[in-house]
């Protein structure tokens, strides 16, 4: 991971932080950053020590979206074009099975809202500014739309994507783009607090929650689905992790999860 040029990573305990780091470009995403993020996400996904992933922006801003210079290159292979490469990144984040916390500082524009919409928890600094700026440039927020609509709903998406207006952190919280808003000086403390709480949960169980929700939200409410959830619960209930969790609760002690001493 030390070979990354456009992102920085830091692992402390069971928490990994990934920093977008193209500060001279307000952390705008270019092909190298996207590929590095994809690689990093795969590494974190397969690292049993990592239970929580945090995505942040280095410097004064979270992310200015996709680098416009990248979008103007006309001779790229299809798989290297923003319209195809960015969805790969968004899907990787959306399907990341461990808790994903996105912390937003400064400006979050255009494609940055796709990164944010994939977060399970989104914290915003009081100074943060959000904008679906695509229509100001003659573009549309196509690749981020499946993730944004799932997070904030159809009507809010219409209003924000059509207007391209800049909204502050509190308005972002009201629309559902952000979950909590803090003064910038409190951000590190609040991130560490939530990461610590999540790290105490059963890591195997947490990895099953998001796939479960994705499956349930896509299916009709009928016996086939309830049979699926029953089978899932039965399998998990018989796991060593669940047995340890239940036993610890009955014995009024903290559970000892695999990797707790790492």
What number of other Cβ atoms are within 10 A of residue 162's Cβ?
A: 10
244 part of the active site: no
Dihedral of CA atoms 60, 64, 67, 72 in degrees, nearest 10, equals -140
What number of other Cβ atoms are within 10 A of residue 228's Cβ?
A: 14
Q: Tokens at residue 225, please? A: 């689905």
Q: Tokens at residue 221, please? A: 């409410």
Report the candidate in 117, 171, 161, 107 with the shortest Cα–Cα distance to residue 137. Answer: 161
* Cα–Cα distance, 165 to 157 (Å, whole number): 12
Annotated catalytic residue: which of 24, 80, 134, 170? 134
Q: Tokens at residue 164, please? A: 């391209």
How many residues are listed for the chain in this entry?
A: 262
Which residue is listed with tokens 């239970």? 51
* Cα–Cα distance, 224 to 230 (Å, whole number): 10
Collapsed DSSP state (helix, strand, coil) of residue 206: helix
Which positions are catalytic? 134
């Amino acid at each position: 991971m030390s070979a990354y040029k456009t992102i920085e990573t830091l692992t402390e305990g069971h928490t990994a932080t990934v920093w977008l780091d193209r500060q001279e470009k307000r952390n705008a995403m270019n092909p190298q950053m996207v590929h590095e993020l994809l690689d990093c996400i795969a590494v974190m996904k397969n690292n049993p020590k990592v239970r929580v992933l945090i995505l942040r922006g280095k410097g004064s801003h979270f992310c200015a979206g996709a680098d416009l210079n990248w979008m103007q290159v006309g001779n790229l292979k299809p798989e290297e074009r923003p319209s195809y490469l960015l969805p790969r990144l968004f899907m990787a984040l959306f399907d990341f099975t461990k808790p994903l916390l996105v912390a937003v500082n400064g400006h979050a524009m255009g494609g940055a809202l796709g990164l944010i919409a994939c977060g399970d928890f989104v914290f915003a600094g009081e100074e943060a500014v959000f904008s679906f700026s695509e229509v100001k440039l003659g573009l549309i927020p196509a690749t981020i739309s499946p993730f944004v609509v799932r997070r904030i709903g159809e009507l809010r998406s219409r209003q924000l994507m059509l207007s391209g207006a800049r909204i502050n952190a509190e308005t972002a919280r009201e629309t559902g783009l952000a979950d909590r808003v803090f003064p910038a000086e409190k951000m590190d403390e609040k991130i560490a607090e939530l990461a610590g709480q999540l790290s105490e949960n059963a890591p195997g169980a947490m990895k099953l929650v998001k796939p479960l929700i994705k499956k349930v939200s896509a299916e009709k409410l009928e016996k086939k689905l309830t049979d699926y959830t029953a089978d899932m619960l039965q399998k998990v209930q018989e796991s060593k992790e669940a047995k340890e969790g239940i036993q610890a609760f009955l014995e009024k002690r903290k559970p000892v999860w695999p990797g707790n001493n790492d």
